Homo-oligomer: A and B are copies of this chain.
Amino acid sequence: MSFQNNTMDECCTVNLTVRYLTKKWTLLIILELYKGDNYTRRFSELKASLPDITPKILSERLQELEAENIVSKKIDASIVPVKSEYTLTESGVELIGVIRDIKYWALKWKIDNIPCGSQECKLCKL
């Protein structure tokens, strides 16, 4: 989570970007948001769509993405229970191209593996 104590500081923006985009779950979270109406999903929806992620890690990743302006958060505290929504920003939506590229690459070179379309698959509906 913190990049302060290593050599990230010395890296240029692009190198830095690769590093946090490739953190575990990050791309899959972005994809889940993309699939929601208006690129928006609630915390519990994300949790349900990513069965193996823990609330702790999901919370951490969302905060990181918010800090990078890839995701914006909106809370409606006027109702109970509180309603919170996470939405891809414009820059966030543009990251979908990266994920789509990976999908096409995988379909081209790895088609001999498990067929897509199962409930477990978070990428193949892209």
Contacts and interface: CB of A to CB of B under 8 A. Distances in A.
Interface string A93-126: 0110111011101111111011111101111100
Contact of A17 (B15, B106, B115): B106
Contacts of A95: 105
Interface string A37-74: 00000000000000110000000000000000100000
A24 interface: yes
B91 A16 contact: no
B116 A105 contact: no
Given A27-B22, A114-B12, A120-B11, A17 B105 contact: yes
B106 A98 contact: no
Interface of A: 6-7, 10-19, 21-24, 26-28, 51-52, 69, 91, 94-95, 97-99, 101-103, 105-111, 113-118, 120-124
Given A12-B118, A16-B106, 5 more contacts: A13-B107, A17-B102, A18-B27, A22-B23, A22-B26
